[in-house]
Amino acid sequence: MTGVVESVGRGERHRFSKAPHPSIRLLAGLGIEGDCHAGETVKHRSRVARDPSRPNLRQVHLIHAELHDELVGKGFRVAAGDMGENITTRGVDLLGLPTGARLTVGESVIEVTGLRNPCSQLNDFLPGLMNAVLDRDADGGLIRRAGIMGVVIVGGAVRPGDAIVVALPPGPHRPLQPV
């Protein structure tokens, strides 16, 4: 499975959206250089409040551009970085990846840790957006579609247009859970 990077972004301060940049630098074991969520331990405010010593499994946030396309089709004005993602992808079924999948992105390697758990900040950004990124399966189980999270295994630069190559871990595969 291969895809392409559509956009990259980072945020120096805790805000909902990430500003687009011509490139970002990923740092092994930390996240994105200059991003407020970079670090070995949790940096998202809600997680810091619970236990600041927990490992940071949310160093990099990826969203598939196909979700943006769908949301725009439903009348939402969203663009790359608006939902807080660092890397906007196209052509990779991010939500279908198993835990532990590795993405070679530009010069870097990201290991997928889990799903982003959508929060009410989505509705603060655009009313109704949270419900638009949630769904239910046939058994009534919640489906989270607001992207995936990962940790940086190999650092390096990432730019729009870079290829994304997926390597699956040995089976059996574990489905993604919120992190």
Q: Is residue 174 part of a domain?
A: no
Structural domains in the chain (count): 1
Residue 103: both structure tokens together: 């993405």
Q: Is residue 41 part of a domain?
A: yes
Task: Provide Rg for the chain, Cα atoms.
Answer: 15
pTM over 0.85: yes
Distance CA 20, CA 53 (A): 30
pLDDT tens digits along 39-66? 999 998 888 889 999 999 999 999 999 9
Distance CA 27, CA 25 (A): 7
pLDDT tens digits along 3-16? 999 999 999 998 88
pLDDT tens digits along 123-153? 999 999 999 999 999 999 999 999 999 999 9
**CATH number of 27's domain:** 2.40.33.20
Phi and psi dihedrals of 103, rounded to 5?
A: -110, 120
Least Cα distance to 154 among 93, 103, 116 occurs for 103
Distance CA 63, CA 90 (A): 9
Q: Give the residue numbers spanning the domain of 131.
A: 2-167
Residue 5: both structure tokens together: 């990077």
| Residue 46 pLDDT | 83
